[in-house]
Amino acid sequence: MDENKSANTLQQYSLMEILGIWAAVALPMGFILWVAMPLIIPHTNIEPGFIYLVLITLGLVWQGILAYIILRREVKPFTWENIKQRLWLHTPTDPKTGVPSKKLYLWTIPIIAFTLLWDNLNILGGLNDFWVRTFPFLSPPQYAIIQNLADPAIGQWWLMGVLVVLIAFNYLLGEELIFRGILLPKMNGVFGKWDIVANGILFAGYHLHLIWRLPSTIILRDWVYSWAAKRYKSYWVAVIIHGFDAVFLVVLFPMAIMGLIKA
């Protein structure tokens, strides 16, 4: 079976189906930050940042569960081959020749370099600052700033277990799976050639738990993953690009736990 043909002939979602899936993953994350945490904090002595990290990780696990439920309903029969077709679990395909090639994975390197440069230069940081100044209630709570965990994390090795789950469901089995695996292949029917932009906007808007960064992510950062996945018809390309963020977490978390990083 031709991989590109099967991917392009998937029955497309309606706008309401797209927004429904978006809401099912976005609203719980926003609820954790803006509702659950303010209700929990006054009634416990546990470090708020730890509570928040665990709840956000559970929110990502929920996304993995939702992805599984959707796939069980859509993929008939529920076989690995059909799942691969549904989620674009393919070797990257040359957009000009249509020929799959593992060498195309090398294109993730300049894309990752671009995203790192974009983040490090903080080109739109001023826009984020303006956004928060205009809407002060969107300022990040102290417990949602990961740098604030540096001191409380010292000696807390159990956080590494939370980190493993967070990484798995953020970059592979949950967040990424919902947006580039579940949604992107079925958004063309509503958005046409603008599906990668729409996917990026939905992904940026999903981050209600990081809403103070919305302007910069919605303008560029968050649609890079959908662009790469669609260009090469490969979920794995998006996983590699997005998942590169995990490298920093894997390095920084142990350093913080050992007391090598101070807030």
**What's residue 7's pLDDT?**
43
Query: How far apart are the C-alpha atoms of 195 and 114, rounded to whole Å?
Result: 22
Query: How far apart are the C-alpha atoms of 197 and 23, rounded to whole Å?
Result: 18
pLDDT in tens, 207-237: 999 999 888 888 776 789 999 999 999 999 9
Question: Where do the structural domains in the chain lie, given as residue ranges?
Answer: 3-257
Structure tokens at 63: 């996304």
Cβ-Cβ contacts under 8 Å for 7 (sequence gap 6 or more): 85, 88, 90, 185, 233
When pLDDT is averaged across residues 62-91 and rounded to a whole number, the result is 97
pLDDT in tens, 145-204: 988 998 999 999 999 999 999 999 999 999 999 999 999 999 999 999 999 999 999 999
When pLDDT is averaged across residues 61-69 and rounded to a whole number, the result is 98
5: pLDDT strictly greater than 60:
no
Measured distance between the N- and C-terminal CA atoms of the chain, rounded to whole angstroms: 54
